[in-house]
Amino acid sequence: MKNKKFLLSALMFFSIALSISAKDVFYNIIDFGAKGDGKTNNTKAINAAIDAAASNGGGTVFFPAGNFLSYTIHMKSRITLHLDQGAVLIGDQEVNGVGYDLPEADAWYKKFQDFGHSYWKNSLIYGDSLRDIAIEGHGMIWGKGLYTYDKPDIKGSGNKAIGLKNCFNVTIRDISILHGGHFCILATGVDNLTIDNVRADADRDAFDIDCCKNVRISNCNINSPTDDGLCLKSSFGLGYARPTENVTITNCQVYGYDFGSLMDGTFKTEFKDEAPDAKHSITGRLKMGTESNGGFRNITVSNCVFVHSRGICIETADGGLIEDVLIDNITMRDVTDTPFFIRLNARMRGPEGTPVGVCRRITFSNINVYDVGGRPKFPEVGAGMVMGIPGHYIEDLTLSNIRIYFRAGASKEAIDKDVPENIDMYPDPYRWHSLPAYGMYFRYVKGLRVSDVVLRYMNRDERPAFVLDDVHDASFYNVDAQKGDGAPQFILKNVTNFSTHQVNGVADSKIEKTEMKEL
């Protein structure tokens, strides 16, 4: 008898739940006048649905299957945008000055960062000082009318798919983004941010995570051929320096294939980076910097794949601190310049009097890389690059369990070419067209540990595997590096407290101090 009563109660509850219509649970944009015909601009209808949900304390604004054109959508707290399978939110093209919200007018500090990092209002989806928001579903955001480059002179122009500032508890999940403009996602000062299972086919940056704290990025596929794929930044965009910290990035795949070829599944490479008339260099990398006023702390990147891209860059140029970074379980293939670039310099784009930054406690482990560098544009670039500047050293760097196959192919003349300091320049590997090492180049480093490393080249190379210039307290253990006949394994310049153990071609040694030595 009790079981029958329970079953009857359950059936009555289920019946009541089914009787509630979809529009009572969701705020369907169709009910507010939206049309998914790919012709009607639905800005007012979508924002009306958001306003209705917000007036009731929050809720889910539902996009059914269809092609919905829109200008700026104003997110509000406790709102979820749900793009159903088959739903495409399309960034419309401005017409005669009518279009997206105008960018912020009071960004007096904009001189300290690029235009795109000073403005959020001119986005397809925009939110400021919100909490508990989400953008989700298996639909797509297509920034068709967004500009790839900044167009401040065109009234009503938009340049990013999602622009969020000073928000808390944000989730972006399962959606696809095609043609995101300058940024597919620009999150600045956003804390407790989760980006999961997002596919982004970007014409410039995919994800820019700027001045954010407690960030989780996972299970994402990113194609970004002309700019950075996953980019952590710490700009002065908020009007003060704020670090990006407590970030985990895991189980992501990053590519630099032709634009659109991730979304259509072709993964084309018709664009040739080395072509004389090439308008850009294949990028698609993971980077910390270049905007680096606030610095980066407690960053972990694990279980990621990089293909036809530019590997990993860690940069502080504007006075920020970088510390406690772990890069682990990474595979790369077809890397167009260098597998890793770690740079501390003094561009110092920020308030006057800001000191030069600090870069310390970085670990790269369990890295497998095949086919690096050696492209016709810069045939002598490809080595891992770690460089501070005079008086400012990269400290406590560990490289372990790493295997790299370089394309290489330079002659011994490359050893004597000048390696510029580029102290106050934009930090990027392309600034160095030639390196004296085919494998790893270290300059201004203190506390270097290299162990269980295998280096190979695919074309004959007469440069040494390692060059150390102004490096102190360095040890190399269990290193198997290929070298050409007559080429040294190491070139040491102004090096102190250097040791090797089980390095092929080099007797175990300990050198207290040397101004110049080949091993």
Give the model confidence (pLDDT) of 325-364 as tens digits: 999 999 999 998 899 999 999 999 999 999 999 999 999 9
pLDDT number for residue 273: 58
Distance CA(136)–CA(84), nearest Å, equals 9
**Mean pLDDT throughout 405-422?**
91
pLDDT number for residue 233: 97
pLDDT number for residue 21: 42
pLDDT number for residue 108: 54
Least-confidence region, from 129-138, 210-219, 271-280: 271-280
Residue whose token pair is 């080949």 = 518
Of 378, 411, 401, which Cα lies nearest the Cα of 486?
Answer: 411
Dihedral, 406, 407, 411, 415 alpha carbons, nearest 10: -40
- What's the distance, CA 42 to chain centroid? 32
Residue 505, judged by CB atoms within 10 A of its CB (0-12, 13-18, 19+), counts as middle
Least-confidence region, from 270-279, 320-329, 419-428: 270-279
Domain locations in the chain as residue ranges: 124-149+161-518
SS3 230: strand
DSSP run (H or E) holding 359: strand 358-372
pLDDT number for residue 485: 84
Residue 279 predicted with pLDDT over 90: no
Residue 19 predicted with pLDDT over 50: no
Least-confidence region, from 17-21, 182-186, 454-458: 17-21
**Mean pLDDT throughout 432-447?**
94
- 124-149+161-518: CATH, from 2.160.20, 2.30.30, 3.30.1690, 3.30.700: 2.160.20
Residue pair 200/220 in contact (Cβ under 8 Å)? The answer is yes
Mean pLDDT rounded to a whole number for the chain = 92
Q: Which residues contact 99 (CB under 8 A, 6 or more apart)?
A: 71, 92, 93, 145, 155, 156, 157, 158
Pairwise pLDDT comparison (204 vs 12), residue with the higher score = 204
- What's the distance, CA 95 to chain centroid? 32
pTM, rounded to two decimals? 0.93
Residue pair 207/164 in contact (Cβ under 8 Å)? The answer is no
pLDDT number for residue 189: 98
Residue 451 predicted with pLDDT over 60: yes
Give the angle 345-256-184 at the CA atoms, nearest 5°: 80
Distance CA(188)–CA(130), nearest Å, equals 12
